[in-house]
Amino acid sequence: MHKIVIKDKENLKFISQVVSWLDDMRWDDSINNDQIKYSKKLTNSEKILTHWLCYITDRQTPFERVWNEGGHVFSELVYDYTRKNQLPTVILNNHYEKYLNGKNEEKYRFKSSDKRYFASRFVTDDYQNIKQTLEILNQSRYHRNIVSYIIDMIDRFESDEDFLHRIACSLFLLTYKLDNKESNADKIIGILSSERDFDNELKKFKRNSTNGKKRLWCCIRDYKKGTFNTIFNEAIRENSKDTRVIKIWNQLPMNQIELPGDVWNNSPLFRNNLLGNVIELSDKIENWGMPKVVRNVYNQVEQEDGFEKFYPEQFDITFDFVPRMCNKELCDVCPFGKDGAKSICISNDKKNCPVSLVTCGYVRRCVGPTEKCIIREGLGKGLCKGIRNNDM
């Protein structure tokens, strides 16, 4: 694979440190609450499965609709799935229907018993992915429980060097089809049961681990960080007598998780104006998505001083940063702007940090004047050639 040229390693280090700082703000437990609007009182394992189904449908759909409308419908679906002795397809079809829209066109949507609806952008494809998921988890060893499925994979692959990638590949196979037509649970069950067949799928997965797997990496990230890490740990405790499993999961290295690729981290306003100053975004890599770019760069610097806290997934703060800062051209208060964010930094530990709030919407208490702060140090100052930075 082509190796990206790093033009300015020192400033790349400063960018990574500011990104790490913002990521710490994002995952502070006091602000990163469970946003799913459940319609039923669920167990921790059921919450994890609801979360997984919501992410299946999170394609070109506002996340508020996914967590609110989708969460309402899928939490009821999961509640019925784990408690009723009915076939998975019966449960699913009780929460799925064809209807006529205002133009008298036939459409499909997910539904709840209290007549709440959720039509995802790719609803028929999402139906097949959910169907495959429910059918695989229906095996007796998994008890219709996604956490039992993950625990089984942890037990199976614990001693392997590429442990996390094996877990990720197993979760990818659980839901995402090997062809573009219908769910194929029986075929996947066969692959999961065969060491040779699974290793063949793992090789394919690794070759494209940064491409087209946004929702998978989002879920794995959530089970490692923030509120859902707590829910996931409790779900493991409820489903495994082996107390080591929680420790094994929490010690899995974050640097193996890929950056979920989306329009925000691929935005030229961020990619070209900021990263373009420190790495060579040549014609050879112009079609690379940011997950592949960041992974390539990270592999070159991971052993070097100053990059100890950084790993690729942290660049997902762009989901909050780009629409608030880059799209609004707020270069004069940006940590990467000509003067940094000093004009809005208050250095008062009795108040919340205005920099994390303005840049990303994260509510976190300021560390105060006596604690070290990279914003006051201005580590990212002047590193972006943004629209307004050259005119100030």
SS (H, E, C) 80-139: HHHHCCCCHHHHHHCCEEEEECCCCCEEEEEECCCCCEECCCCHHHHHHHHHHHHHHHCC
- What separation in angstroms does the CA of 368 have from each of 60, 339, 340, 364? 40, 20, 18, 12
Q: What pLDDT digit, counting tens, does each position of 287-343 carry?
A: 788 999 999 999 999 999 999 999 999 999 999 999 999 999 999 999 999 989 989
End-to-end alpha-carbon separation of the chain, Å?
40
The beta strands (E) that lie in the chain are given as: 96-100, 106-111, 117-118
Closest by Cα among 141, 129, 145, 140 to 185: 129
How many angstroms separate the CA atoms of 270 and 319, rounded? 11
> What pLDDT score does 111 carry?
96
| φ, ψ for residue 274, nearest 5 deg | -100, -60
pLDDT mean across residues, the chain: 91
pLDDT at 388 over 60: no
φ and ψ of 116, to 5 deg:
-100, 145
Alpha carbon 101 to chain centroid distance?
32
pLDDT in tens, 199-241: 999 999 999 898 889 999 999 999 999 899 999 999 999 999 8
Round to whole Å and give the CA distance between 280 and 238. Answer: 49
Nearest to 166 by CA among 212, 207, 198: 198
**389 has pLDDT over 60:** no
Q: pLDDT band at 13, cuts 50/70/90?
A: very high
163, amino acid identity: F
Record the tokens describing residue 364, joined without a space.
């976190």
Helix, strand or coil for residue 194?
coil
What's the confidence (pLDDT) of residue 101?
84
In this prediction, residue 182 carries a pLDDT of 66
Percent of the chain predicted with pLDDT > 70? 95
Write down the pLDDT at residue 392: 43
Tell which residue, 332, 327, 309, 318, has the closest CA to residue 361. Answer: 318
Give the 3-state secondary structure of residue 291.
helix
What are the tokens at 382? 């002047």
d(CA 343, CA 330): 12
Give the separation between CA 214 and CA 17, rounded to whole angstroms.
23
Q: Give pLDDT tens digits for 39-62.
A: 999 999 999 999 999 999 998 888
